[in-house]
Amino acid sequence: MSVKFGTSGLRGLSVDLQGRPSYVYPAAFVNLLLRNGHAKSADRVLVGYDFRDSSPAIAANAMIALRQSGLVPVDCGHLPTPALAYYGFQAGLASLMVTGSHIPADRNGIKFYLPDGEIGKSDERQIAEIAAELNDMPVPALGEITSYENRAGEAVALFMERNKIVLPESALSGKRFGVYQHSTVARDMLSEILRYYGAEVVELGRSSVFTPVDTEAVSAETIAALREWSYQFGLDAVVSADGDGDRPLIADETGSPISGDICGYLTALFLGADAIVTPITSNSGIKTAGGVEVVRTKVGSPFVIAGMQEALASHRQGVVGFEANGGTLTASEFRAAKGTLRPLPTRDSFLPVLAVLGSAAAAGLKLSGLKDRLGLPFTAADRLEKFATERSVSLMARLQANRENLSEFLHPLGLPIEVDMLDGLRVTLDNGRTVHFRPSGNAPEMRCYVEAANAAETREVLEMGLRLLREADLA
């Protein structure tokens, strides 16, 4: 089957996933649940999905597989991934989310959750192995979602109650925020929670056509729209999320996006965390300070979650994880303004939105000022789409083979002095710049992350890094 697990769930072309894989992989998931004692016959399993055209059909096939395998599918409808996962964690139920997150509309995926958290890398391997064994199994007629128990309203309400204890009442009163709605399943809930805290909300860019929004590499077109909206409506910020609502997009009063790792870091500070777990692609300026331990991992929520579990095992009390895309996870309880935030060890866009906006309001700062006072290095990231996986593998192998190849390739940017190959290739140069090349785990894309002394130099280094990748001679 032409689908595979990436950095976050199963991914593949929508036309491929809509067929046999959308039945076989959920059936393999059930096999794993029963084999490892995470579920028993006739237990319920929650199913949610995003607004992609292919998602309802894939969800329908998954529900048929669940029912045929002896479990009871529960239709949770269109809702954010963190809302589905949180409902499952609180109810002690496994769940799966049909979503391709931020990737193009011609692709889709499935995320799998155990009753107590995301599946790990070992679980992925087991599901893939079981799916291979089941690949020749007879598949019943697949069809539309019909006559299943529906708990969409209950799941959404529970998640909203969680978010209503994060800030004091009227914490955002007097503020005017835009919500870039596009096609994210988080769009209505984001507007609702901001209004709950007293903000005036301007809803922007709602679309009935799926729009892939990558919060880690915001497109030039999206940035232009954010800036135009900020100027036109006099906004204090614009917020949004990716397709399934687990990665935030937060732009300051000028419409300039605040990078996801800074949003995650501000959230950790807001919560008073004593341990931070974040991938190597996050801002290098986020270091141990004031008793906060910082652990770096490979890219992907399974690696962040494993790091958070290790931090808990070492007796850290307040553990927060976040990725460079801004998706923020909590492994422990935290005291909030109006109650206790229970752990949510999967990516969430709502907590960082509220933490960042609430922190700025409480400090009497614009969002740009809140970010600037951290004093972190300037960073930027982007990607080359339609960069064949085979090309990525070949280029990485060549650059990692020896220092001579790497030095020749990076000559226009500087001389390599430090190399980290934890995930992709991260290189510190003699002029203080950092460039990091990493093939995407979800799509045929090559990502480039850079750090430099100022915004202008950072943009220059990013453009040069992308050009080097684009023009790479692999002969």
> So what's the pLDDT on residue 104?
85
Give domain status of residue 302, yes or no: yes
> Which one of 328, 355, 372 terminates a domain?
372
Task: Report, as an integer, the average pLDDT of 5-9.
Answer: 82
> Which one of 372, 405, 440 terminates a domain?
372
Pair (217, 355) in one structural domain: yes
β-partners of residue 294 are 276
pLDDT, tens digit (0-9, with 9 covering 90-100), for 182-227:
999 999 999 999 999 999 999 999 999 999 998 988 899 999 999 9
Give domain status of residue 61, yes or no: yes
Pair (312, 242) in one structural domain: yes
Pair (334, 438) in one structural domain: no
pLDDT, tens digit (0-9, with 9 covering 90-100), for 93-129:
999 999 998 888 899 999 999 999 999 889 999 999 9
Pair (414, 330) in one structural domain: no
Judge whether residue 335 has pLDDT over 90.
yes
Pair (142, 246) in one structural domain: no
pLDDT, tens digit (0-9, with 9 covering 90-100), for 375-385:
898 998 888 98
Judge whether residue 409 has pLDDT over 60.
yes
Give domain status of residue 475, yes or no: no
Say how many C-beta atoms besides its own lie within 10 A of residue 107's C-beta.
22
Give domain status of residue 458, yes or no: yes
> So what's the pLDDT on residue 145?
63
What's the domain range around 69?
4-152
Q: Total domain count for the chain?
A: 3
| Contacts of 215 by beta carbon, 8 Å cutoff, 6+ apart | 102, 240, 241, 242, 247, 248, 249, 257, 260, 325, 326
Active site residues: 101
Task: Report, as an integer, the average pLDDT of 416-435.
Answer: 94
Pair (40, 135) in one structural domain: yes
> So what's the pLDDT on residue 322?
97
Pair (310, 289) in one structural domain: yes
Give domain status of residue 58, yes or no: yes
pLDDT band for position 386 (cuts 50, 70, 90)? confident
Judge whether residue 475 has pLDDT over 60.
no
> Which one of 322, 340, 372 terminates a domain?
372
> So what's the pLDDT on residue 138?
77
Pair (366, 386) in one structural domain: no
d(CA 97, CA 8): 11
Pair (22, 93) in one structural domain: yes
CATH of the domain at 440: 3.30.310.50
How, if at all, do strands 275-279 and 248-251 pair? unpaired
Pair (192, 263) in one structural domain: yes
Pair (129, 237) in one structural domain: no
CATH of the domain at 62: 3.40.120.10
> So what's the pLDDT on residue 389?
87
Of the candidates 67, 37, 248, 250, the one whose C-alpha atom is nearest the C-alpha of residue 146 is 67
* φ, ψ at 87 (rounded to 5°): -60, -45
pLDDT, tens digit (0-9, with 9 covering 90-100), for 348-375:
999 999 999 999 999 999 999 999 999 8
* φ, ψ at 123 (rounded to 5°): -65, -40
Pair (12, 136) in one structural domain: yes
Give domain status of residue 28, yes or no: yes
> So what's the pLDDT on residue 1?
52
The H-assigned helical ranges of 234-323 are 260-271, 301-313
Give domain status of residue 338, yes or no: yes
Residue 144 class from Cβ within 10 Å (0-12 exposed, 13-18 middle, 19+ buried)?
A: exposed
* Token pair for 403: 């220092």
